[in-house]
Structure 1
Amino acid sequence: MYSDGGAGEVWVHARAVAIRPIPWLDGFRQPPHAAVMTNPLLLLRNADVYAPDALGLRHLLIGGGKLLWIGETEPQLPAALEVETLDLEGLRLIPGLIDGHVHVTGGGGEAGFASRVPAPMLTRYTTAGVTSVVGLLGTDDAARGTAELLAQVYALRESGLSAWGYCGGYHFPPTTLTGTVRGDIAFAEPLIGVGEVAISDHRSSQPTLDEVLRLASEAHVAGLMTGKAGIVHLHLGDGARGLELVRQALDTSELPPRVFQPTHVNRKKALFEEALALAMRGCHVDITAFPVEEGEDAWPADEALMRYLDSGASPQRVSISSDAGGCLPCFDGEGRVCGMDVGHSGALLETLNALLARGLPLDRALPAFTRNPATLLRLRGKGTIAVGSDADLVALDGEGRAHHVLLGGAMHVRAGVAVVRGMFEHQH
């Protein structure tokens, strides 16, 4: 329930939620989320708020994992409430970043089983200002499956991170829990779509138009049934066919363009131009924050977003993800791995700061990392700072680093130091 407190102030009434320890076997320390919140109410003072729209200096009251109030004048709260106070002293406060393309179980495997990338630990996300992730499978959807992905999504949730996932992976038929994509999305709450389905890539199943259409219809109908995103998240390789299959799907079916979300669209400059044309038709496109060498036929993520925003395409139809935990391989002429890197969620803040260094205002850059993916993926309460939204917040220091990070109102990073770690991360 919401009420107007006057003077431009808005309140939401919510009950504080107590966090109780879960009993664990003797010899194991408490789970990382057991004592995250010591006080149910937190007042953030003097925050320069980007919601992602620029709001200016504000004070915010957090409780029960939600933003309860925001205003220009500091509230007079009863002492009995025992409100903890944190003065941000003018630091920029932004919504927690949403990383919409993460190999939460680890990716890789293209150069043998030893090349399978381990699952990223909790603080790899939180210290990078990432508070929500969408997990997926890639090339290795045989040794790794939807059950393992779902288990890791639940593990991240238990640690305080907001997490969802896609069923399937690169290949046809898609790996599923229930036997169908429609069933997985309908009955597994965290699964919101299917992906990353590979096209225009020598590692793909070389899917036909009919296969892509059938997959997209399954995802779309499941989304209608459940209120979820119901999208097909498409991995784009560097093949000459580019986005041809997506254009054909739009030309020959009744499926809405939003169902198709191509990613890695900045890996080739010509592919990026195809993606811009699809965005004009209503598709949402995803830019990847991977490293690009000087002279390479690709656009770095910051350059790609600048070009997108200057293209005339809807600024709401673009997002930036990291490919965290995924192998970033290069291949020789015979399709064998000749080198590899590993994606990391820190690339999002690096890209955001590169955009600011180019002169793009923060409120214009932020939506691609926050509100846009939340809207497409129907992640309610995410991607914005507003009364009633989830208290996933990042205070940036003067260098653009994550200084304080709150997940559901719980402090995970304080003054640049992770104060909450995953179960198997070493304490320092």
Structure 2
Amino acid sequence: MNTTLVRNADVYAPEALGRRDLLLGGGKVLWIGTDAPDLPAAFGAETVDLGGHRLLPGLVDGHVHVTGGGGEAGFASRVPAPMLSRYTRSGVTTVVGLLGTDDVARGTRELVAQVNALREEGLSAYGLAGGYHLPPATLTGSVRADLAFIDCLIGVGELAISDHRSSQPTLEELLRVASEAHVAGLMTGKAGIVHLHLGDGPRGLDLVRRALDESELPARVFNPTHVNRRKALFEEAIELARRGCTIDITAFPVAKGEDAWSAADALVRYLDSGAPRGRVTISSDAGGCLPCFDAQGRVSSMDVGHSGALLETLRELLARGVPLEDASPAFTGNVADLLRLPSKGRIAAGADADLVALDDDGAVAHVFAGGRLHLRDGAVVRHGTFEKMDPQDNRSN
């Protein structure tokens, strides 16, 4: 069993525990305490001294286009799949992959294959069945069977509403797919959520409010994302969080004067609102196209999401004086709770050994995924299968 002794860590679990040592083995945190045990030489344990760096759970990115997104401006606009270290350089140790606008040329088979590839490379990876449109893209012919029989699929998404690219789902159609996801979650212990892409449409979250008012489905099933893309939409989302939904903020770029909140602004507003602190998460939309459309619905410009936006947001929050124990759950424990991943998102004996150490400037110094070092002293030590063939391999996020 590969064992590592992590010494002199300033642990945020996410609560501040102070200086601690940790023993990692078999992909788990085996022990955490203030006085590291003397290990027999036969253990062959490696020692990593963090020198007092802050240690927090590995970031859980709940919205990632692991196969690449895009496609709104033709086949040449399809975004390539991000490689392993694109995640780990950013402190991300768990990803949830999904399909977006293009759920035809890219499908569930490719998604499942890429999720499994990331698992083989040492990351924790999961996926969502379906995509923007209804009927949902599936492998088995139904959402419920996909979640029941395909291990890595844990929910549905990103299903688009209030967007000109959506399939314009009706309330009845939304309730049907949500009930499939919910029942599959009950059968399997999986998340069973419907991750809802929110566009710029004026209907906003009306469809979700109606679903809560007119059905017996629990609010936790409905998980709207991109809720900070319009300021009024964000206020709607906060009210849904009060009703039991978990809302997802996207760490996308926001221009000065734009009718949107940056991820850092949105989280601060959420925390100040008094809404339940466990019902907000932040994701990156990594690998996804971030398009702007003209009045005719054509792409006028585009950007690409990246997992590094999570760490940039966390660093901004810390610079603004938000305590790490208040900021980090939106990137870690809250996501894990929503996704029903009890061994993720916190540091404790028995939890998965997914850990991120931040240096004094808030940059990633070390990353452990499943107890194995992927980043050491800021340098990648574990690469994806094809990264050595990529001439941009050493370019940072």
TM-score by length of 1: 0.90
Map 1:291-302 to 2 at 5 A. 291-302=253-264
Tell me the equivalent position of 2:17: 55
Give the Cα separation in 1 of the matches to 2:11 and 2:351: 14
Give the Cα separation in 2 of the matches to 1:81 and 1:102: 37
1:76 Cα deviation after fit: 2.3
Report the number of matched residues. 390
Confirm or deny that 1:411 pairs with 2:363: no
Confirm or deny that 1:242 pairs with 2:204: yes
Tell me the equivalent position of 1:233: 195
1:402 Cα deviation after fit: 1.1
Confirm or deny that 1:98 pairs with 2:60: yes
1:86 Cα deviation after fit: 1.2
Tell me the equivalent position of 2:277: 315
Give the Cα separation in 1 of the matches to 2:243 and 2:342: 25
Map 1:109-120 to 2 at 5 A. 109-120=71-82
CA deviations on 1:154-192 (whole Å, 9 max, x unpaired) are: 000000000000010000100000000001001001000
Confirm or deny that 1:345 pairs with 2:293: no
Map 1:5-154 to 2 at 5 A. 16=1, 40-154=2-116
Tell me the equivalent position of 1:36: none
Tell me the equivalent position of 2:345: 383
Q: What residue identity is the alignment partner of 2:206?
A: E
Give the Cα separation in 1 of the matches to 2:136 and 2:39: 54
Q: What residue identity is the alignment partner of 2:319?
A: A
State the secondary structure of the residue aligned to 1:316. Answer: helix
Confirm or deny that 1:218 pairs with 2:173: no
Tell me the equivalent position of 2:286: 324
Tell me the equivalent position of 2:267: 305
Tell me the equivalent position of 2:146: 184
1:399 Cα deviation after fit: 1.5
Give the Cα separation in 2 of the matches to 1:201 and 1:84: 51
Q: What residue identity is the alignment partner of 1:58?
A: R
Comparing 395-404 and 343-352, the one that deviates more? 395-404
Confirm or deny that 1:275 pairs with 2:237: yes
Tell me the equivalent position of 1:288: 250
Q: What residue identity is the alignment partner of 1:252?
A: E
State the secondary structure of the residue aligned to 2:232. Answer: helix
Give the Cα separation in 1 of the matches to 2:149 and 2:142: 11
CA deviations on 1:251-292 (whole Å, 9 max, x unpaired) are: 000000000000000000000000001001000000000000
User: Can you give the 5+ residue segments of structure 1 that lack an aligned partner in the other structure?
Assistant: 1-15, 17-39
Give the Cα separation in 2 of the matches to 1:312 and 1:101: 25
Tell me the equivalent position of 2:137: 175
Give the Cα separation in 2 of the matches to 1:294 and 1:389: 41
CA deviations on 1:88-127 (whole Å, 9 max, x unpaired) are: 1100011000000000000000000000000001110011
CA deviations on 1:306-362 (whole Å, 9 max, x unpaired) are: 000111110000000000000000001111000000000000000000000111000
Tell me the equivalent position of 2:156: 194
Q: What residue identity is the alignment partner of 1:389?
A: A
State the secondary structure of the residue aligned to 1:258. Answer: helix
1:82 Cα deviation after fit: 2.4
CA deviations on 1:12-49 (whole Å, 9 max, x unpaired) are: xxxx3xxxxxxxxxxxxxxxxxxxxxxx2111110000
1:397 Cα deviation after fit: 1.0
State the secondary structure of the residue aligned to 1:266. Answer: coil
Give the Cα separation in 2 of the matches to 1:210 and 1:289: 31
Q: What residue identity is the alignment partner of 1:46?
A: N
State the secondary structure of the residue aligned to 2:248. Answer: strand
Tell me the equivalent position of 2:223: 261
Tell me the equivalent position of 1:8: none
State the secondary structure of the residue aligned to 1:399. Answer: coil
State the secondary structure of the residue aligned to 1:426. Answer: helix
TM-score by length of 2: 0.97
Confirm or deny that 1:361 pairs with 2:299: no
1:248 Cα deviation after fit: 0.3
Tell me the equivalent position of 2:167: 205
| Identical positions, percent | 73
State the secondary structure of the residue aligned to 1:220. Answer: helix
Q: What residue identity is the alignment partner of 1:51?
A: A
Give the Cα separation in 2 of the matches to 1:337 and 1:80: 60
Q: What residue identity is the alignment partner of 2:198?
A: L
Tell me the equivalent position of 1:4: none
Give the Cα separation in 1 of the matches to 2:184 and 2:196: 17
1:250 Cα deviation after fit: 0.3
Tell me the equivalent position of 1:13: none
Q: Which has the larger radius of gyration?
A: 1
**Aligned-residue CA RMSD in angstroms?**
0.8
Give the Cα separation in 1 of the matches to 2:43 and 2:292: 57
Comparing 339-348 and 376-385, the one that deviates more? 376-385
State the secondary structure of the residue aligned to 2:62. Answer: strand
